[in-house]
Amino acid sequence: MTAVRDSSRPPSDSDTVSPMEHSEGLAGRALVVVVDDRRARGVERDSSGPLVTELLAEAGFAVDGVVVVSADEAEILKALNTAVIGGVDLVISVGGTGVTPRDVAPEATAAVLDRELPGIAEALRASGVAAGSTEAGLSRGLAGISGSTLVVNLADSRAAVRDGMATLGPLAAHVIAELSNLEI
What per-residue confidence (pLDDT) applies to 24? 54
Of 155, 91, 70, 149, residue with least CA distance to 121: 155
pLDDT of residue 69: 98
Fold of 28-66+73-180: Molybdenum Cofactor Biosythetic Enzyme; Chain A (3.40.980)
Model pLDDT, residue 7? 40
Angle of helix 158-180 versus helix 48-58 axis, rounded to 10: 50
Those residues of the chain that have pLDDT short of 50 are: 1-23
The pLDDT score that the predictor gives to residue 183 is 57
Residue among 128, 127, 125 nearest 140 (CA)? 125
Q: What is the pTM of this model?
A: 0.86
What pLDDT digit, counting tens, does each position of 155-174 carry? 999 999 999 999 999 999 99
Q: What is the pLDDT of residue 181?
A: 84
